[in-house]
Amino acid sequence: MNPIDQIVADRDAARHASDPNADVCFLATTDANGHAHVRTLVLREIVENRFGVYMNRSSPKWQQLTENNGYELLLFYPTRQRQYRLSGTVQEIEPASVDSNWNMRPAGSKYMDYFYREMAPQSSTLESRQVLLSGIDSLKNRYPDPHDLLPPDLAVGLDLVITCIDMLDISNPDRIHDRIHHFLKQGTWVEQVLVP
Ligand SMILES: Cc1cc2nc3c(=O)[nH]c(=O)nc-3n(C[C@H](O)[C@H](O)[C@H](O)COP(=O)(O)O)c2cc1C
């Protein structure tokens, strides 16, 4: 089976098994000093080899991804006993899709995106949590109905366009795991067995 179809099938099975990781992914990047950073993100649509994630342009991860330092995306479905490590390139999702996704976000997340734009970038330092709560209160006073909030320019969607997949299956009871490296060559997935 094509490795993307395999991931989609594993994710569907993970969802049916109430796997806590079914809807998330773990994205690792490096900063300009070579320090590694990894964080959890909601994984949206998987279309062909494009894995959609949404974030704010004010965040360090956005800067790291667009500085083109490379990334690795980790999926682990405990209920399937499968790990996938994915890498490739990055493409912005078209603004219309970002906007319709943003409009469905919970009110708190929308106010946070306005906070990043009007008060402080994501992941920057605040004097106290009270500063954050006061800032959110002032946004709620200014925009009392969250339905009136329009998608801010800083909201962005990225397709992680995957060209390499390292699959590890640890379900064999004898602990002799199965590991396969897949890479795209002229539009076709090629596979190599790896020492697990
Ligand atoms: C379950 C879960 C889902 C998350 N989903 C997202 C997401 O979709 N987009 C996002 O920007 N941050 C998401 N976060 C927060 C990130 O993990 C991270 O803390 C934040 O984006 C700041 O990351 P940065 O400083 O590396 O830019 C999520 C966190 C958790 C625990």
Domains along the chain with CATH numbers:
3-193 (2.30.110.10)
Using a cut of 0.85, tell me whether the model's pTM lies above it.
Answer: yes
Is residue 1 scored above 90 in pLDDT?
Answer: no
pLDDT in tens, 47-62: 999 999 999 999 999 9
Give the pLDDT band (50/70/90) at residue 143.
Answer: very high
Q: Please report the atom of ligand 1 found closest to the CA of residue 55.
A: 11
For residue 7, what are its two tokens? 């991931």
Q: Which of 76, 79, 91 has its CA nearest to residue 162? A: 91
Residue 90 near residue 66, CB atoms below 8 Å: yes
Residue 26 Cα to ligand 1 middle (Å): 9
For 9, the token pair is: 């099938």
> Atom of ligand 1 at shortest distance to CA of 59?
27
Whole-number Å distance between alpha carbons of 24 and 53: 10
- For the segment 126-138, what is each residue's pLDDT rounded down to a tens digit? 999 999 999 999 9
Please give the Cα distance from 138 to 111 (Å, whole number). 10
Ligand 1 center to residue 141 CA distance, Å? 26
Which mutation among 21, 39, 73 tests ligand 1's pocket best, with the greatest number of atoms within 8 A of CB? 39
Tally Cβ neighbours within 10 Å of residue 122: 17
CA of 52 to the centre of ligand 1 (A): 14
Which residues contact residue 4 at a Cβ distance below 8 angstroms, ignoring those fewer than 6 apart? 46, 48, 49, 162, 165, 189
40, 45, 76, 122: which to mutate for ligand 1, most atoms within 8 A of CB? 40
How far does the centroid of ligand 1 lie from the alpha carbon of residue 119, in Å? 19
Strands 188-193 and 178-185, by their bridges, are antiparallel
Q: How many CA atoms lie within 13 A of 127 on its CB side?
A: 5
Residue 161 confidence class, pLDDT cut points 50, 70, 90: very high
Ligand 1 atom closest to 37 (CA): 26
